Structure 1
């Protein structure tokens, strides 16, 4: 965990994406591959069992592995050497028919799924909190604001229902992308040649071992990574919207909402800053640049990319961290959000009615019940 992870809400997601988690997951893929090879008769069951045993006991110096990765351009190459040395006579059962990208891509998919589980939980928690505000304040009048100016009346319930709908849509879209990420196994050039005639069988067994969908090799076909980037970027944006509204509504001149545990000021003790919403915005603001990097990295050359693939690993993990942080901090803000109807009422012209707002809130919440 870094100094800023708790501040920007990234600590829980970061735990799933640490250097140690990367190494454990790379080893997990290698072990599953050995078992898949044994299941298809390419190595003995005893050799696969030996690989499984030594992998469970293997102690890897992460820093040294990082240094060793420089020579070949990725950490899988030195990690395979360590596993083979530890496995002794069973060494040939390590990394059967695979290339480094197979192991790295598959490990990344597993890490994404685990980190996304935390992210989706926080998105759901934030949406639930927004839905509760929508229900409680279905008919609480407040001023709508357009182009920064006071407009017609609305209700706080309808505002919160909009937040809820955006978070739910983002979570559903992210779930589709993440759940569809498949295993990667293609060998040196994506043809499974080294596993012939068992390549397809090994791929399917490997997928089953890891609980992933199977797909033909996608080593330089990166639409899945692009879709993941887009879904994470949209989720970050869905978090930024309510966070921005909360910051504005909590301003001294409006005072229509406040956070349960507002932030302190080092120089102005009278201030009560909506710091959870502030840091949610800060985390989300980093997402678009990371999304752009991943979209720009989709142009993988021929059958192995020269740099574009390498740029994905830290970028995907960082995008998960910032989006997870935005969701976590927004959830904190919304779950403790205090609404001040009296302040809202002072900004609504007397006698103006809010038509259909309650019906619209009901529709959003009813639809949510049906699709939850």
Structure 2
């Protein structure tokens, strides 16, 4: 369970804020939180002695304070996941409360539920940045509803548009991606099925314990255990990939419109060059594109890993952890850096008029302003 992020490049690529939500400490905390919640849920239905849960709580608090995640990561190698050594440590620390640790569960129950908790936290950060990007695009759309500009198709000048409509298109895509990601994340349920997904070890209270665990953690209740039914992970991967793509589209436009010979927009704090003092690089948009470029391959990895065999996967499940973590970092980085790019983006109507005059000196009327109004009125 190594720490996540990419070291000194994390702030540059915008992934540092999301990295803190999925790092080794966050993983350890989430795993322990699930184990404690499970002990409470099992006690509520008589599966374990309620008095023993206090011992589990104390043991969990001690491990949160003292256990080095790197130590647990090393111990995870033998069994293939960190829940096995964590449960062993919890039982040892709980003393007489040991029977109330990990009742009726399998390692995947704890791992998957902890992953859902981490995804929700990371998605909150990503959603905040996406919302800020969309708000900035909306402000640009409103301010430049009627600012004439040239539309470009296949890399060439096409017909007149307005910069407001360009920005409204950015806003619509970002809003759509944010809402879809939020919907997918909100639907991710608890995981609790026991060793073979039958809840046998919790009989006759298995479904009730699963529901109590979900309620205690603030997660949706499951219908059936989803140990090897991974459509939810595929939907999450797709939503994150789409969000990264929405950011990449806007960032690409900003990079192109910032070119010296175009000059229609400029970032508030452009980057410089180590050897060319005249350069004003749109570095936030550039690094947003860089982060977003990593997303498609990670989405493909997660979709390829959806073939979990039988009732517990030997490899595909394990492949999800780093791929999904990296995808959260990539999408989060794209949104964070695009936010920097769009907030305070400078718009140059004079340059737009100059470029427009190259092929369309007398723009004909269009519905550009009406379309801007429609986008802004229908924002979620």
Q: TM-score, with normalisation over the residues of structure 2?
A: 0.96
The 5-angstrom pairing of residues 63-212 of structure 1 reads 63-212=70-219
How many residue pairs match? The answer is: 369
Q: 2:12 aligned to 2, 7, 16, which one?
A: 7
Question: Quick one: structure 1 residues 274 and 354, their matched pair in 2 at CA, closer, same or farther if it must change by over 3 Å?
Answer: farther
Alignment correspondent of 1:283: 291
Name the SS of the counterpart of 2:160 in structure 1.
strand
Q: Secondary structure at the match of 1:346?
A: helix
The TM-score with structure 1 as length reference comes to: 0.98
Q: What does residue range 196-345 of structure 1 map to in structure 2 within 5 Å?
A: 196-215=203-222, 216-345=224-353
Local SS of the residue matching 1:6: coil
Residue 57 of structure 1 deviates from its aligned partner by: 2.0
Q: Is 2:77 the counterpart of 1:33?
A: no
| C-alpha contact 1:154 1:354 (8 A) present in aligned 2 | no
Question: How many Å separate the matches in 1 of 2:365 and 2:375?
Answer: 17
Query: Residue by residue, what CA displacement relative to the aligned partner does 1:296-330 show, whole Å, maximum 9, x if unpaired?
Result: 00000000001000000111111011101100110
Shift of 1:250: 0.1
Give the Cα separation in 1 of the matches to 2:121 and 2:321: 15
Report the Cα distance in structure 2 between the residues aligned to 1:62 and 1:121, rounded to whole angstroms: 28
Give the corresponding residue for 1:351: 362
Deviation at 1:45, TM superposition (A): 1.8
Please give the secondary structure, in 2, of the residue aligned with 1:150.
strand
1: CA distance between counterparts of 2:54 and 2:297?
Answer: 44
Distance 1:205 1:289 in 2: 37
- Deviations 1:247-295 (Å, cap 9, x if unpaired)? 0000001000000000111111110100000000000000000000000
Structure 2's unaligned 5+ residue stretches are none
Deviations 1:33-81 (A, max 9, x none): 0000111111122211221122112121211211111100001101111
CA distance in 2, matches of 1:76, 1:4: 30
SS in 2 for 1:3: helix
Q: Distance in 2 between matches of 1:301 and 1:259?
A: 49
Partners of 1:7 and 1:310 in 2: CA distance: 29
* Secondary structure of residue in 2 paired with 1:152: strand
Shift of 1:109: 0.3
Counterpart CA distance in 1 for 2:233 and 2:363 is 49
Rounded to whole Å, the distance in 1 between the matches of 2:361 and 2:234 is 50
Q: CA RMSD in A?
A: 0.8
* C-alpha distance in 1 between matches for 2:138 and 2:160: 20
Corresponding position: 1:362 with 2:373? yes
Deviation beyond 6 Å, 4+ runs, structure 1 = none
| SS of 2:149 mapped into structure 1 | strand
Q: Determine if contact 2:55/2:96 at 8 Å carries over to the other structure.
A: no
Q: CA deviation at 1:354?
A: 4.1
What is the CA–CA distance in structure 2 between the aligned matches of 1:88 and 1:81, rounded to whole Å? 11
**Per-residue CA shift, 1:140-171, capped at 9, x if unaligned?**
01111100001111100000000000000001
Matched with 1:18 is 23
* 1:343-370 Cα shifts (integer Å, max 9, x gaps): 00001122122411000000000111xx
Asked if 1:54 corresponds to 2:65, the answer is no
Cα distance in 1 for partners of 2:364, 2:147 equals 11
Greater CA drift, 53-62 or 96-105:
53-62
- 2:299 & 2:166 partners in 1: Cα distance? 28
Q: What whole-Å deviation, never above 9, does each CA across 1:184-236 have from its counterpart, x for those lacking one?
A: 00000000000000101100000001000111201000000000000000000
